[in-house]
Structure 1
Amino acid sequence: MPHDQESPLARLRRGHEELVLGLLRTHGPLSRGELGRLTGLSRTTLYDIVAVLVDSGAVVAAPPAGTERRRGRPVETLSLHPGAGQAIGIDFARRAVHVAAVNVAHEVIGSASAPHTEGLGWQERVDLAGRLVGGLAGGTLRLGALSGVGVGVVGPVNGAAATPPGGSPARDDGAPLRHGDLSVLLRKRFGVPVLLDNNTRLAALAEATWGAAAGVQDVLYLRLSHGVGGGLVVGGALHRGAHGLSGEFGHITAEPGGRRCSCGKDGCLETVASIGAVLDAHPGSDDLGAFLAALPGDPGARRVLAEAGARVGTVLAAVCNAIGPDVTVLGGELADAGPALFAPVERALSAHLMPVSRPRIDLRPASLGEAGGALGAIALVLHESPLLTRYPAPDPVEGT
């Protein structure tokens, strides 16, 4: 029965079950007595809820170790069954698909990535994601145990069209695919609810949950890839913005009167600090790997990267002056350049920050790599990260 058709008693019971499961996810194994103190439920209600969860296989009960046993009945501990549910995260980047999966105990089962040509249609990209997911954990992932799929996509998530870069629509009638249509494709593939959000904002969530800025209350994240974008963690919560537009740092003007950006403005940061912009500025370069490998012996390549880094640092300084983050995280494939990029970024940051803020600069490389967006998408499904406590759910889409 759909949730909106449940009786009040059934909704209350489901809420109690979710409360118990949430506490086990957050705290790990707990006794019934500990659960009772944390939930505030009566002993009779709690024991009834626990019995149902154990019978369904969602929770397992284990006796304490022999050294912990005392007189009387042994005190069992309750924990989540690792195989009782799984969540998948998919990051549909501009030219690649990244996937990751975790079990209900928040253990990462596996991750995988595959590049694709620019403008690949959405059905083909969904099929690619399905093949990648099928190969996780040596092909042992049980799709029937999935509790949901979190999805990251390029650009704002507010009901706008989700046309792949290059303009290749996926619908048979030639119309651009919308987020609701993408959700339907994914639901048909995996058979579970789908939640969508901006992929770079999800990467920010992942870095602040498990990565370079884990545990930090105020984080600015910027990803330099084929596109440029990011995310903000403010006061310990991921910030989405009123219309899902937070984190569009790639469309802050970095070069007034500069090149026309795909967004329709001129001189955006993306026109000078994306992978394509950097390669265009270095004659003869059409491959990022070769460009990065040439850096030590190519002054021209280092100069191009220094100019891009200066633009990045200037934009970051403007955002830092407004937000005041504890940590700034720089990720994306271009960040693999290391000191050749980070040094000019930090110089520009220092030059443009308020003097009182300069000693507090904490610029860190992202640590989760290509899996960041997919791991952040998983957090949408789990709803467990404290970073999501004040974060509105992504816009509902048809088919979920």
Structure 2
Amino acid sequence: MAHDHEGPLARLRRGHEELVLRQLRTHGPLSRGELGRLTGLSRTTLYDIVAALVDGGAVVATVPAAAERRRGRPVEALTLHRDAGQAIGIDFARRAVHVAAVNVAHEVIGSTSAAHGAGLTWEERVDLAARLVGSLAGGTLRLGSLSGIGVGVVGPVRGPAATPRTDSPSGAPRLHEDLPVLLGKRFGVPVLLDNNTRLAALAEATWGAAAGVQDVLYLRLSHGVGGGLVVGGALHRGAHGLSGEFGHITAEPGGRRCSCGKDGCLETVASIGAVLDAQPTAGDLDAFLATLPTDPAARRLLDDVGTRVGTVLASVCNALGPAVTVLGGELAEAGPALFDPVERALSAHLMPVSRPGIDLRRATLGEVGGALGAIALVLHDSPLLTRYHTPKSVE
């Protein structure tokens, strides 16, 4: 009879171990108390599971440095063993490749970028990405230990394991139909794929301006306008990979024709190109931003852009109720000249009961956000890292 009960009990314990490992993989360093709240395990069960994982080498317990300690007994932080696995993120932007590497302890190993011309083939882009990955951490990154690669691309993507659509309304370049296979052959590990702007939203909720926040709305104002949603701590993609296409919400009825085929989309007034078209003497974005302190016309233009952005964001916030709204992209470099009218419009168009909860933040991760979000995609969504633990396997 004892043999009959051994299987279910062993499976239950294994399930508890994987639950703890998954939370550490997703959230990074956690205290036992935080792990208890996230897993719902009893104190006795949790401490028993954690002790076994620490003894086996899969989990490492550390105490804060003396300078960081508060009064009382120091609280240990639990993390996955840094040598247990690594993840690579690659962002294939329109004219550049960005890469980053993170270990399963959520420590960023390195990041780098390289611009390229419009005519580069997908095979050449993959070659460029491989060279950039090889340069990370001073060339000491152990590619053989990689547990997964997350990849960001321009345009709608049906899902993390799907091939991107090639009929993108946002003008994305046609993708190699076997891009995940091409990358998998190059690096020898499975590949997860998603929209790069949507991945930047996940990155900001993992490492950036909204780190640790479960419900985040992200909008990027760049050469295109798009964004992403993190709901309940997970990336929301939508049924057809179209979640986050905020740039194609109507901001100016009857306005300019958008690349998507509609008129008056937010992208037609709040993208870099739209702003420069409205201020042709500026030349480029850096020059335009430099004129803001002394040029009333430039400030009025940005005030109008910010008002339209805030109005669109308010509609999305009224529907979804995010805890934090993050604004990023090159246009966000305008600072208060953009953020002030955005916040005013948000306040004016949100439901009154929601106004005290406005939390508008500036993105902090910059151009590497898409690559870091691709890593977060692996750490959050992939089962690859949940079963790496075997006793003493990482010693």
TM-score by length of 2: 0.75
Partner of 1:112: 112
> What is the aligned partner in structure 1 of residue 90 from structure 2?
90
> How many pairs does the alignment contain?
344
Return the alpha-carbon distance in structure 2 between the equivalents of residues 61 and 210 of structure 1. 21
CA RMSD of aligned residues (A): 3.6
- 1:131-280 correspondence to structure 2 within 5 Å: 131-158=131-158, 159-162=163-166, 169=174, 177-178=176-177, 181-280=178-277
Distance 1:232 1:29, change over 3 A: closer
Q: Distance in 1 between matches of 2:235 and 2:268?
A: 27
* Cα distance in structure 1, aligned partners of 2:148 and 2:83: 14
Deviates more, 1:252-261 or 1:21-30: 21-30
Equivalent position amino acid for 1:37 in 2: T
Q: CA deviation at 1:384?
A: 7.4
- 2:299 corresponds to: 302
Change in CA separation of 1:276 and 1:116 when aligned onto 2, cut-off 3 Å: farther
Q: Quick one: which amino acid aligns to residue 154 of structure 1?
A: V
CA distance in 1, matches of 2:313, 2:366: 20
* Pick aligned residue for 1:38 from 46, 65, 87: 46
Once residues 168 and 78 of structure 1 are traced to their aligned partners in structure 2, the CA distance between those partners, rounded to angstroms, is 43
How many angstroms apart in 2 are the aligned matches of 1:382 and 1:24? 9
Match of 1:278, SS?
Answer: helix
The CA distance in 2 between the partners of 1:23 and 1:346, in whole Å, is: 34
CA distance in 2, matches of 1:218, 1:23: 17
Amino acid at match of 1:224: L
Distance 1:109 1:235, change over 3 A: closer
Counterparts in 2 of 1:88 and 1:344: CA distance versus 1, 3 Å: same
TM-score in terms of structure 1 length: 0.74
Deviation at 1:336, TM superposition (A): 0.8
Aligned to 2:126: 126
Identity %: 78
How far apart, in 2, do the equivalents of 1:21 and 1:35 lie? 16
- Contact kept? 1:89, 1:151, Cα under 8 Å: yes
Gaps of 5+ in 1: 1-10, 63-76, 170-175, 386-400
Structure 1 residues 78 and 218, CA, compared in 2 at 3 Å: closer, same or farther? closer
Separation in 2, partners of 1:319, 1:382? 27
Change (3 A) 1:329 1:185: same
Secondary structure, counterpart of 2:282 in structure 1: coil
- Superposition map of 1:322-337 within 5 A: 322-337=319-334
Name the CA distance, whole Å, in 2 between partners of 1:79 and 1:357.
36
1:345 is aligned to 342
Which letter does structure 1 place at the counterpart of 2:121? Answer: G
Cα distance per residue 1:176-215 (max 9 Å; x no partner): 533xx11122112212110011112211111122221223
> After the TM superposition, which of the residue ranges 144-153 and 225-234 deviates more from structure 2?
225-234
**Range moving further from structure 2, 118-127 or 302-311:** 118-127
2:332 is equivalent to residue 317 of structure 1: no
Residue 148 of structure 1, CA deviation? 0.7
Partner in structure 2 of residue 173 of structure 1: none
